[in-house]
């Protein structure tokens, strides 16, 4: 666990309604140069975002923290950087051409398109909210003697709601599995679900919508030249698995890690950078001997949960959700979910993908993708355990946790981004107390020494209190202040962002003190 302690003087965040909180996070992200809408001068492009001066730093730090944990710290995992464009047959073999679909439905009055399953799930969430309301009411009524577990299992209204949710869910997922689009429409009609924009129930039929973006390669525009923007980075790893295994002389079990862009033409692209049309993934495929995959699946679930915990974000923000309903290629799957302002949602997936992908590529390419295992003297198609996390989603989880409004003892307020120091965009701000008496010169000298190892900012404008607030708002964990005493005894103060505590230390110890405090706890 990271040693830095998250101490809040007075916490008013919990008083904020979660929707307001989310809006504040989005506007803070824009105001301070973390995230901008893409091509904003043309009114933006739906579900596409640009990362600004601080956002690009935070994003790089997240990626480095992941790469370090996965590649640098494992002797049996190596990296890869495969192309976004791949041979079109790749996507036939992987199943994406035929099955990477979402069921969509249009409202004829508003002309708005929705994911049919999401409409039903939103309906189920509304019933869930009714249960929460009943629980809150009862909690108020019974006070300390309230037994929540007993209440939700016996209260007739709550049990009725629960039965309704499970009946709707069972029917929806059965219809999805059987590709019974007519029944999904029938369900929407029976539940009398209305379009949130027009309020009408004037729906089209449900149709499948492929999520891959396609384009033409070369000058001819016929089907033969259709290629896709990859919807996941994983396939670049699968098709290179033998190249890497042979040239890297890798022995099973081993992994290949990759960070790169992926593209999905999401029907419901909303919630800021949670669901985007262009996003980045950090994926690792771990190749194992068939029959050992469940052991490795458990290992990677635990290892990935520990990676998240190592950032120091409190555990209650995460939960593990084991999938009951599995994709056709998986024999086990789980999500690490994060408590976003709009509820617990998937942050990372860990999937035991069997030999589905490699076997399919063998079949479609006609090339053998086997591994000769000297320990058992046998050749086989390896099984794969995958870990897959979106960089942007991780970014949003960090922002969601970090954004804090505090009321201080002196009655003033501050917005502080409690970004884990190891991934903070700026690690140190160097601040001469005054813009005279030789303090700026000393400040520059310290800045020049620290910038070699850390992303630093130098700031001599405005009163020191305002400068501290500016650094709090962008999540800088340490401020080094140069004052007149510095010129006398070569000491400075280091101010810690979360506690606002200041320590006086010799200048020549600043770099090592900061190094110690931001060392990865992997």
Residues engaged in binding ligand GAP (CB under 6 A)? 232, 234, 264, 266, 275-276, 279, 281, 283, 346-349, 386, 388-390, 392-393
Using the minimum distance from each CB to ligand GAP, give the nearer residue, 256 or 456: 256
Min dist CB 113 to ligand GAP, Å, is: 16
Using the minimum distance from each CB to ligand GAP, give the nearer residue, 245 or 258: 258
Q: Which helix (H) or strand (E) holds 385?
A: strand 383-390
- Burial 373-409, CB ≥16 within 10 A → b, else e: eeeeeeebbbbbbbbbbbbbbbbbbbbbbbbbbbeee
At 130, give phi and psi (nearest 5°).
-65, -40
Min dist CB 262 to ligand GAP, Å, is: 7
Using the minimum distance from each CB to ligand GAP, give the nearer residue, 232 or 459: 232
Using the minimum distance from each CB to ligand GAP, give the nearer residue, 283 or 498: 283
- Output the six-digit token pair for 314: 């409190």
Using the minimum distance from each CB to ligand GAP, give the nearer residue, 175 or 281: 281
At 122, give phi and psi (nearest 5°).
-65, -40
Using the minimum distance from each CB to ligand GAP, give the nearer residue, 94 or 476: 94
- Other C-beta atoms lying within 10 Å of the C-beta of residue 187: 21
Using the minimum distance from each CB to ligand GAP, give the nearer residue, 284 or 480: 284
Query: Rounded to an integer, what distance in angstroms lies between the CA atom of residue 148 and that of residue 136?
Result: 10
Q: What is the 3-state secondary structure (H, E, C) of 155-219?
A: CHHHHHHHHHHHHHHHHHHHHHHCCCHHHHHHHHHHCCCCCCCCCCCCECCCEEEECCCEEECCC
Using the minimum distance from each CB to ligand GAP, give the nearer residue, 357 or 460: 357
Min dist CB 488 to ligand GAP, Å, is: 53
Min dist CB 455 to ligand GAP, Å, is: 25
Closest residue by beta carbon to ligand GAP: 390
- Output the six-digit token pair for 511: 């770099």
Angle between helices 391-402 and 53-67 (to 10 degrees): 110
Min dist CB 23 to ligand GAP, Å, is: 20
Q: Which helix (H) or strand (E) holds 138?
A: helix 116-142
Min dist CB 367 to ligand GAP, Å, is: 22
Min dist CB 479 to ligand GAP, Å, is: 33
Using the minimum distance from each CB to ligand GAP, give the nearer residue, 336 or 422: 336
Min dist CB 56 to ligand GAP, Å, is: 17
Using the minimum distance from each CB to ligand GAP, give the nearer residue, 116 or 431: 116
Min dist CB 121 to ligand GAP, Å, is: 16
- Other C-beta atoms lying within 10 Å of the C-beta of residue 456: 21
What's the Cα-to-Cα distance from 54 to each of 401, 471, 498, rounded to whole Å?
17, 12, 19
Min dist CB 348 to ligand GAP, Å, is: 5
Cross-strand pairs, 106: 113
CB of 35 within 8 A of CB of 400? no
Query: Rounded to an integer, what distance in angstroms lies between the CA atom of residue 261 and that of residue 360?
Result: 23
Start-to-end Cα distance in the chain = 8
Q: What is residue 393's three-state secondary structure?
A: helix
Chain-centre distance for alpha carbon 487: 46
Min dist CB 309 to ligand GAP, Å, is: 18
CB of 453 within 8 A of CB of 511? yes
Q: What is the 3-state secondary structure (H, E, C) of 236-302?
A: HHHHCHHHHHHHCCCCCCEEEEEEEEEECCCCCCCCCCCCCCEEEEEEEEEEECCCCHHHHHHHHHH
Min dist CB 323 to ligand GAP, Å, is: 10
Using the minimum distance from each CB to ligand GAP, give the nearer residue, 281 or 481: 281
Using the minimum distance from each CB to ligand GAP, give the nearer residue, 393 or 470: 393
């Amino acid at each position: 666990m990271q040693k830095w302690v998250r101490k809040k003087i007075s916490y008013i965040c919990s008083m904020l309604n979660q929707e307001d909180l989310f809006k504040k996070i989005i506007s803070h992200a824009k105001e301070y140069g973390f995230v901008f809408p893409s091509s904003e001068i043309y009114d933006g492009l739906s579900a596409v975002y640009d990362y600004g001066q601080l956002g690009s730093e935070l994003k790089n730090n997240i990626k480095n923290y992941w790469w370090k944990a996965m590649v640098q710290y494992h002797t049996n995992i190596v990296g890869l950087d495969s192309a976004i464009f791949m041979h079109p047959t790749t996507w036939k073999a992987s199943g994406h051409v035929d099955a990477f679909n979402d069921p969509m439905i249009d409202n004829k009055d508003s002309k708005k398109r929705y994911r049919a399953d999401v409409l039903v799930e939103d309906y189920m969430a509304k019933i869930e909210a009714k249960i929460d309301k009943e629980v809150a009411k009862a909690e108020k009524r019974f006070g300390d003697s309230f037994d929540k577990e007993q209440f939700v299992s016996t209260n007739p209204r709550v049990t009725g709601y629960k039965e309704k949710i499970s009946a709707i869910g069972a029917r929806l997922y059965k219809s999805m599995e059987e590709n019974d689009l007519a029944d999904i429409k029938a369900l929407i009609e029976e539940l009398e679900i209305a379009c949130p924009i027009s309020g009408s129930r004037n729906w089209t039929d449900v149709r499948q919508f492929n999520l891959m973006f396609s384009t033409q390669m070369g000058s001819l525009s016929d089907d033969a030249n259709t290629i896709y923007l990859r919807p996941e980075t994983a396939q670049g790893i699968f098709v290179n698995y033998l190249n890497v295994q042979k040239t890297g002389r890798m022995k099973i079990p081993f992994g290949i890690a990759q960070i790169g862009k992926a593209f999905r033409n999401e029907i419901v692209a909303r919630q800021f950078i949670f669901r985007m049309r262009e996003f980045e993934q950090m994926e690792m495929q771990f190749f194992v001997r068939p029959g050992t995959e469940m052991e490795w699946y458990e290992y990677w679930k635990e290892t990935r949960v520990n990676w998240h915990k190592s950032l120091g974000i409190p555990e209650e923000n995460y939960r593990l959700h084991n999938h009951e309903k599995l994709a056709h290629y998986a024999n086990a799957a789980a999500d690490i979910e994060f408590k976003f302002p709009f509820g617990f949602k998937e942050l990372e997936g860990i999937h035991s993908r069997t030999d589905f992908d490699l076997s399919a590529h063998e079949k479609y390419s006609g090339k053998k993708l086997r591994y000769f295992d000297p320990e058992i003297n046998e050749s086989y198609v390896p099984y794969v355990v995958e870990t897959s996390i979106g960089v942007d989603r991780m970014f949003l989880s960090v922002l969601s946790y970090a954004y804090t409004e505090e009321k201080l003892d002196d009655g003033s307020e501050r917005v502080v981004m409690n970004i884990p120091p190891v991934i903070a965009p700026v690690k140190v701000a160097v601040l001469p107390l005054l813009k005279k008496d030789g303090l700026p010169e000393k400040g520059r000298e310290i800045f020049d020494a620290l910038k070699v190892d850390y992303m630093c900012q130098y700031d001599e404008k405005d009163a020191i209190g305002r400068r501290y607030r500016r650094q709090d708002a962008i999540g800088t964990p340490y401020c080094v202040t140069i004052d007149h005493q510095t010129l006398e005894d070569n000491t400075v103060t280091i101010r810690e962002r979360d506690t606002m505590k200041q320590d006086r230390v010799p200048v020549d110890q600043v770099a090592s003190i900061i190094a110690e405090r931001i060392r990865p706890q992997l």
